[in-house]
Chain A
């Protein structure tokens, strides 16, 4: 999955076991991952209208 951010963003969280996920940095504006934990974290961000991270329509 490919995600984008319109500014310098880093995000961190954890997976369903409480294991740390990230931090993920968007210094280049976009981020591509196939890691399930990162996808879950970034999906939660991308579906939150208050979060600067979104889905990148230029899917890799």
Chain B
């Protein structure tokens, strides 16, 4: 009796290309995933013509074959900058170890990435996914603790079956990870200076940039990617402790009492600590956020009263909407 092929033997690989046409043949990072993989995407359609015998015509492939990835990985310290640089292309590194990576120019022309699926099918098929763009970044955690979950979405030009050199995979036990457990979370409903709060049950930061593969009349796989607008949002579930966000949302001020057209701007700062290395950390600062509260929901089950906040991140007085800083052991720019 043979063994079945286990579905858990998988490492997702990532490398930044030096330019659009130079596909990386060596993984820069190998990451275990919570979910997701890179995958080819194609569209087939039947030829929409009439038929004398009322049979549907045979299909054809559109010229839009490309690849997409939607992975969720633990927030490992070393690879995190390599993901962030997809939406914040400038990495300024200071320090002599640990090194502080300050990311900026959110939404500027992005770099190209190669991604890889490693180990599924026992290495029988090595797939290289070339010339991709980061189309979405997310960061989320809740009261269950553990690694912060980083979501990364890529859209790329061409999948190929091609060999490459693996990176040594990141390991939860020995490499550690960034977590919110033991970290400081801050927000303020009506000020650009966030203060420490302890009632955040869960928080998710999303920075999305739609990327659309564009086929041409002669294409088989796409040669062009269209970049959409970058939109950052943050959402939180708060254990209810006051009505400030609620009143600011509907009544124009934390002490407001009548309907108001005013959009009150606050701020949020997510700080992460490292599970192993005390001097390593990460932070995401949002200096200007409209924190829109939903009315709390009554529940006959007597669950803790919570309030859901949907934050629209707006342009601050200076710098980017979201300002990531990562302190890790990597000296090189990402």
- A interface with B by C-beta (< 8 Å): 7-20, 22-23, 41, 44-45, 48-53
A6 to chain B, nearest CB (A): 10
Chain B residues within an 8 Å CB radius of A50: 102, 104, 318-319, 323
- The distance in angstroms between the C-alpha atoms of A20 and B39, with both chains bound, is 26
A33 to chain B, nearest CB (A): 15
Task: Give A13's nearest chain B residue, CB to CB.
Answer: B90
- The distance in angstroms between the C-alpha atoms of A8 and B109, with both chains bound, is 26
Q: Within residues 307 to 324 of chain B, which ones have a CB less than 8 A from any CB in chain A?
A: 318-319, 323
Inter-subunit contact A17/B19 (CB<8 Å)? yes
Tell me if B111 is interfacial: C-beta within 8 Å of chain A: yes
Chain A residues within an 8 Å CB radius of B334: 12
Inter-subunit contact A52/B19 (CB<8 Å)? no
Chain A residues within an 8 Å CB radius of B154: none
- The distance in angstroms between the C-alpha atoms of A45 and B40, with both chains bound, is 37
Known: A13-B91, A18-B111, A49-B319. 18 other contacts (CB 8 A): A9-B93, A10-B333, A11-B93, A12-B91, A12-B333, A13-B105, A13-B108, A14-B109, A17-B20, A18-B17, A18-B109, A19-B19, A20-B18, A22-B333, A23-B332, A50-B102, A50-B104, A50-B323
- The distance in angstroms between the C-alpha atoms of A7 and B94, with both chains bound, is 7
Pick the residue among A8, A19, A48 that contacts B96 (CB under 8 A): A8
Inter-subunit contact B109/A51 (CB<8 Å)? no
Chain A residues within an 8 Å CB radius of B251: none
Tell me if B112 is interfacial: C-beta within 8 Å of chain A: yes
Inter-subunit contact B19/A18 (CB<8 Å)? yes
Inter-subunit contact B111/A14 (CB<8 Å)? yes
Tell me if B110 is interfacial: C-beta within 8 Å of chain A: yes
Task: Give B332's nearest chain A residue, CB to CB.
Answer: A23
Inter-subunit contact A44/B90 (CB<8 Å)? yes
Pick the residue among B90, B109, B133, B323 that contacts A12 (CB under 8 A): B90
Task: Give B88's nearest chain A residue, CB to CB.
Answer: A13
- B interface with A by C-beta (< 8 Å): 16-20, 89-96, 102, 104-105, 108-112, 133, 318-319, 323, 332-334
Chain A residues within an 8 Å CB radius of B95: 8
Task: Give A6's nearest chain B residue, CB to CB.
Answer: B94
Query: At the interface, is chain B mostly helix, strand, loop or mixed?
Result: loop
Inter-subunit contact B319/A9 (CB<8 Å)? no
- The distance in angstroms between the C-alpha atoms of A16 and B111, with both chains bound, is 9
Chain A residues within an 8 Å CB radius of B111: 14, 18, 20
Q: Which of A11, A13, A44, A50 has the most CB of B within 10 A?
A: A13
B282 to chain A, nearest CB (A): 16
A47 to chain B, nearest CB (A): 9
Inter-subunit contact B323/A14 (CB<8 Å)? no
Inter-subunit contact A14/B110 (CB<8 Å)? yes
Chain A residues within an 8 Å CB radius of B110: 14, 18
Q: Give the 5 A-B residue pairs with the shortest CB-CB distance, closest first.
A: A12-B333, A13-B90, A19-B19, A23-B333, A16-B109
B324 to chain A, nearest CB (A): 11
Pick the residue among A8, A45, A52 that contacts B90 (CB under 8 A): A45
Chain A residues within an 8 Å CB radius of B17: 18
Pick the residue among B16, B18, B92 that contacts A52 (CB under 8 A): B92
Chain A residues within an 8 Å CB radius of B19: 17-20
Chain B residues within an 8 Å CB radius of A19: 18-20
- The distance in angstroms between the C-alpha atoms of A42 and B89, with both chains bound, is 12
- The distance in angstroms between the C-alpha atoms of A57 and B334, with both chains bound, is 29
